[in-house]
Structure 1
Amino acid sequence: MADKAVTEPGADRPARKLSDGALRARAEKAARVRDQLMVSAARVVGDHGYRDASVQRITADAGLAQGTFYLYFASRQALFDELLPHFGLQMLEQVRLRSEDVHGFLEREEMGMKAVVEYLHENPWFWRLLNEAEVEAPVAWQRHHEEVTRRYVSFLKRARAAGDLTGYSVAELATLAQLLVAARDYIYRTHLTTHGRGKKVPPAVLKTYRKFIENGLAPRDPEPPAG
Structure 2
Amino acid sequence: MSSDTAATNPTSLAPKARRTTREARAEELRNKILAAAAQVVGQHGYADASIGRITEAAGIAQGTFYLYFESRQALFDVLLPHVGAGLLAYVRKKVHGAHSFLEVEERGFRAFFEFLRTNPGFVRVLNEAEVAAPVAHAAHMKLLTEHYVQSLQRSVESGEIREFEGKELEALAYVFQSARSYLYLRYVKGSEKTKKLPDWVVETYMKLVRNGLK
Among candidates 58, 65, 88, match of residue 62 of structure 1: 58
Name the structure 2 match of 1:12.
none
Gaps of at least 5 residues in structure 2 are: 1-10
Q: Which whole-Å deviations, capped at 9, do the CAs of 1:148-183 have from their partners, x for residues lacking one?
A: 111111111101111112011323111111111111
Aligned equivalent of 1:96 = 92
Please give the alpha-carbon distance, in whole angstroms, between the structure 2 residues aligned to 1:209 and 1:19: 56
Larger Rg belongs to: 1
User: How far apart in 1 are the matches of 2:126 and 2:167?
Assistant: 28
Distance 2:62 2:178 in 1: 39
Q: Which of 92, 116, 131 is 1:120 aligned to?
A: 116
3-state SS of 1:74 partner? coil
Can you give the 5+ residue segments of structure 1 that lack an aligned partner in the other structure?
4-17, 219-227
Deviations 1:66-119 (A, max 9, x none): 111001100000000000001111111111111120111111101111111111
CA RMSD, 1 decimal: 1.9
Q: Which of 78, 81, 99 lines up with 2:77 in the alignment?
A: 81
Q: What stretches of structure 1 move > 6 A for 4+ residues in a row? A: none
TM-score (norm 2): 0.89
Q: 1:105 aligns to what?
A: 101
Structure 2 counterpart of 1:14? none
TM-score by length of 1: 0.84
Name the residue aligned to 2:12. Answer: 2
C-alpha displacement of 1:217: 10
1:195 match: 191
Identity of aligned residues (%): 45
Higher relative contact order (CA 8 A, sep 6+): 2
Separation in structure 1 between the aligned mates of residue 88 and residue 197 of structure 2, nearest angstrom: 18
Structure 1 or 2: more helix by fraction: 2
